[in-house]
């Protein structure tokens, strides 16, 4: 028996055995963990074709023959920390003790460079290293933009996960957004390489399923065991994809239907997959934006028991129509119906001829600056998604200058914010928060002079920091105008703009302490005092209060056993319902079920 430096022992007959780098114990060749000390062998290279682990020194997969590393230069070890944002590193490492060994619903993404061996032969080693490095930078930026994690570098590609180790109920949508974003960036990079005669293209595949989190090292290297071929099927999706395309399995397509445009490619044969799996090509963004949009397509159930809430909002609106602008916060835990109440309210406003402008804060865009502010302005200017840039610039200029000719100075700032900068204007990419805030304050006041407006900010708890600061400017600007700003969010989100006599808070699911609907809503400071008084009264109630609590709990358990769990929730072992996974810290989640769109 001979030994190699990479921890692989060669025994008689040429077969291989894995030698543990920690305790030097010799294990069978298919081992993923040491049988003596339990150390992981996950530092090998996963084959991008069949997902088989291979020793780090191998250049080709010993299972299917796929190239594992470039031929131009030995593949250098890549430090995952070097490609990972600091906030994501801290989030993973601070919760890894609770994450290790958990089952999670996740979306697996494989990205692979097409014909990398041929490309490597056409350039020298240093140039090939630069090509690979830029390639991995683009992939890492796109994956981390949507809070995915890179599990492995696979020679000329990556394996990434969304929903593990950081849990996200919209993991499939995040993976698809990341794939589209990376493909867009890589096409620009490929066009630059094409000028130098290099035909550069990438293909990607995604699949959603259950994974089990293994060990997480200080360098962020993670070991995952894919349940139900979750990882292997994602690799198969990447293999059948044509160059420059993204393929997703039927499992992922089911979770993102309506949110993305998909093209059905049938059930092509795939190695090692006995049951036919339908394959879809990911083409672009679909018409749906929120879970409420998806529910609307299926048809809403009748709204019951919310008339009091809507009456509160109508009372606030009456003040606004008298040029007394207000801010209303609709607050509650995940799944209690905040967005549905707001939807019913704005539909009533539209039926009365009141203008409604909406902005949504999707969970996957919490790291994208100013997305809800851009959406709000696009709603104000009635811009379509597919409008040509020149038409958009002309439409914005006509509306702004008709509102006030003094907006000529702010026009380049607005065009740049909306992604259609004037090519003849000076660079204003470093525009300050003060300039944007000043424009929004002036714009809101001038628009409300001609019409009453309701501004809806949906799921504000997922807003990015830059937009959050500008919403504070909007909240201050509505005073003395015919503008109502309505925001719904979860209790853990505590923005700085929730204060003052013109701010009111409607807690969902916390009836009582409300007074008469005709009086308008209760300001936040009065609601807090009322809650404290209610707590003292309940404490003084003694036995009667405890009996009422026990009766209410018993009735709640009986209702929970009779009723199915709400969407995005799952049955608890005792018959109750767990809240949606994103409302619970990662350390408290034990089983993450896929959320319904």
Q: What is the pLDDT of residues 279-296, one digit of tens each?
A: 999 999 998 888 888 877
Tokens of 279: 């394959």
Q: Would residue 88 count as lying in a domain?
A: yes
Burial class (CB in 10 A: 0-12, 13-18, 19+), 9: middle
In the chain, the N- to C-terminal Cα span, in Å, equals 56
- Comparison of pLDDT for 332 and 538, the residue scoring more: 332
Q: What is the DSSP string of 100-141?
A: TT-EEEEEEEEEEETTHHHHHHHS-HHHHHHHHHHHHHHHHH
Question: Do 356 and 418 reside in the same domain of the chain?
Answer: yes
Mean pLDDT along residues 339-361 = 94
Residue 254: in which H helix or E strand, if any?
helix 250-256
53 lies in the same domain as 28: no
Rounded mean pLDDT, 300-304 = 81
Looking at the structure, do residues 200 and 317 belong to the same domain, yes or no?
A: no
Question: Same domain, yes or no, for 209 and 268?
Answer: yes
pLDDT band (50, 70, 90) for residue 99: low
Q: What is the mean pLDDT of residues 205-232?
A: 67
Average pLDDT, the chain: 76
**Percent over 70 (pLDDT), the chain:** 67
pLDDT tens sequence across 162-178 = 987 778 889 999 999 99
Supply the range of the domain harboring residue 147: 45-287
Give residue 512's region: left, alpha or beta (phi > 0; psi -120 to 50). left
CATH number of the structural domain spanning residue 223: 3.30.70.1230
Is 213 a member of any domain? yes
Question: Is residue 198 in some structural domain?
Answer: yes
SS (H, E, C) 367-432: CCCCHHHHHHHHHHHCCCCCCCHHHHHHHHHHHHHHHCHHHHCCHHHHHHHCCCCCCCCCCCCCCC
Mean pLDDT score, 38-50: 58
Asked if the structure places residue 343 within a domain, the reply is yes
Same domain? 348 vs 247 = no
Residue 77 has pLDDT above 90, yes or no: no
Average the pLDDT over each of 77-91, 227-241, 423-437 and give the range with the smallest value: 77-91
DSSP-based three-state secondary structure for 364: helix
In angstroms, the CA 489 to CA 45 distance is 43
Residue-level pLDDT at 214:
61
Tell whether 390 and 476 lie within a shared domain.
yes
Residue in the block written with tokens 């979750």: 230
Q: Is 241 contained in some domain?
A: yes
Query: Do 30 and 114 share a structural domain?
Result: no
Q: Is residue 78 part of a domain?
A: yes
Using DSSP's 3-state secondary structure scheme, residue 485 falls into: strand
**pLDDT tens string 360-397:** 998 887 878 899 999 999 999 999 877 888 999 999 99
Question: In this structure, is residue 589 part of a structural domain?
Answer: no
- Do 515 and 370 share a structural domain? yes
Where do runs of H (alpha helix) occur along 257-337? 291-298, 307-320
Is the same domain home to 235 and 321? Answer: no
State the total domains in the chain.
Answer: 3
Asked whether the bond before 165 is cis by omega within 30 degrees of 0, the reply is yes
Is the pLDDT at 451 greater than 90? The verdict is yes
Tell me the pLDDT tens digit for each residue of 252-282: 999 999 999 999 999 998 888 888 999 999 9
Cβ atoms < 10 Å from Cβ of 354: 18
pLDDT of residue 380: 94
Is residue 552, in this structure, part of any structural domain at all?
A: no
pTM beyond cutoff 0.75: no
- What's the pLDDT score for residue 204? 97
Same-domain status, 149 and 20: no
Q: What angle do CA 101, 102, 104 make, to 5 degrees?
A: 140
Q: Parallel, antiparallel, or unpaired: how do β-strands 222-226 and 45-46 relate? A: unpaired
Residue 68 and residue 30 in one domain: no
Q: Are residues 475 and 353 located together in one domain of the fold?
A: yes
More reliable by pLDDT, 523 or 338 = 338
The distance from CA 294 to its chain's CA centroid, rounded to whole angstroms, is 16
């Amino acid at each position: 028996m001979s030994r190699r430096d990479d921890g692989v022992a060669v025994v008689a007959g040429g077969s291989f055995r894995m030698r543990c780098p920690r305790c030097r114990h010799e294990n069978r060749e298919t081992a993923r963990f040491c049988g003596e000390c339990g150390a992981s062998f996950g530092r090998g290279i996963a084959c991008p074709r069949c997902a088989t682990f291979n020793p780090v020194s191998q250049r080709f997969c010993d299972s299917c023959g796929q190239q594992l590393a470039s031929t131009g230069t030995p593949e250098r070890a890549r430090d995952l920390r070097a490609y990972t944002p600091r906030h994501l590193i801290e989030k993973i490492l601070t919760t890894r003790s609770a994450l290790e060994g958990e089952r999670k619903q996740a979306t697996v993404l494989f990205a692979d460079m097409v014909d990398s061996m041929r490309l490597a032969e056409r350039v020298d080693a240093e140039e090939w290293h630069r090509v690979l490095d830029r390639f991995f930078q683009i992939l890492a930026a796109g994956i981390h933009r949507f809070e995915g994690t890179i599990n492995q570098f696979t020679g000329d590609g990556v394996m990434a996960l969304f929903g593990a180790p950081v849990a996200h109920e919209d993991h499939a949508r995040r993976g698809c957004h990341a794939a589209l974003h990376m493909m867009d960036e890589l096409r620009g990079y490929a066009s630059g390489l094409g000028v130098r005669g290099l035909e550069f293209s990438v293909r990607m595949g995604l699949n959603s399923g259950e994974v089990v989190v293994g060990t997480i090292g200080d360098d962020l290297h993670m070991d995952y065991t894919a349940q139900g071929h979750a990882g292997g099927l994602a690799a198969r999706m990447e293999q059948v994809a044509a160059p420059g395309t993204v393929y997703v399995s039927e499992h992922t397509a089911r979770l993102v239907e309506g949110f993305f445009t998909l093209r059905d490619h049938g059930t092509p044969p795939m190695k090692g997959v006995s049951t036919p799996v339908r394959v879809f090509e990911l083409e672009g963004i679909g018409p749906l934006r929120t879970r409420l949009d998806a529910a609307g397509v299926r048809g809403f159930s009748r709204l019951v028991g919310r008339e009091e809430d809507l009456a509160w909002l109508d009372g606030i609106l009456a003040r606004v129509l008298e040029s007394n602008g207000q801010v209303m916060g609709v607050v509650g835990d995940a799944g209690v119906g905040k967005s549905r109440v707001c939807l019913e309210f704005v539909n009533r406003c539209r039926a009365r001829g009141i203008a409604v402008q909406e902005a949504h804060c999707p969970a996957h865009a919490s790291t994208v600056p100013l997305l809800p502010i851009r959406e709000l302005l696009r709603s104000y200017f009635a811009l379509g998604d597919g409008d040509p840039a020149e038409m958009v610039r002309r439409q914005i200029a006509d509306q702004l200058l008709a509102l006030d000719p003094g907006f000529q100075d702010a026009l380049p700032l607005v065009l740049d914010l909306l992604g259609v900068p004037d090519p003849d204007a000076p660079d204003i990419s470093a525009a300050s928060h003060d300039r944007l805030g000043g424009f929004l304050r002036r714009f809101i006041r001038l628009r409300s002079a001609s019409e009453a407006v309701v501004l809806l900010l949906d799921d504000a708890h997922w807003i990015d920091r830059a937009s959050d600061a500008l919403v504070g400017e909007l909240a201050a600007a509505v005073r003395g105008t015919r503008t109502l700003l309505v925001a719904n969010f979860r209790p853990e989100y505590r923005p700085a703009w929730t204060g003052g006599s013109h701010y009111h808070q409607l807690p969902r699911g916390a009836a009582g302490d409300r007074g008469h609907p005709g009086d308008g809503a209760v300001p936040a400071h009065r609601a807090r005092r009322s809650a404290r008084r209610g707590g003292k009264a309940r404490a003084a109630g003694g036995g009667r209060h405890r009996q009422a609590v026990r009766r209410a709990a018993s009735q709640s358990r009986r209702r929970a056993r009779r009723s199915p769990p709400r969407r995005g929730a799952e049955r608890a072992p005792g018959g109750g319902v767990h809240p949606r996974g994103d409302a619970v810290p990662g350390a408290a989640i034990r089983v993450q079920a896929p959320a319904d769109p």
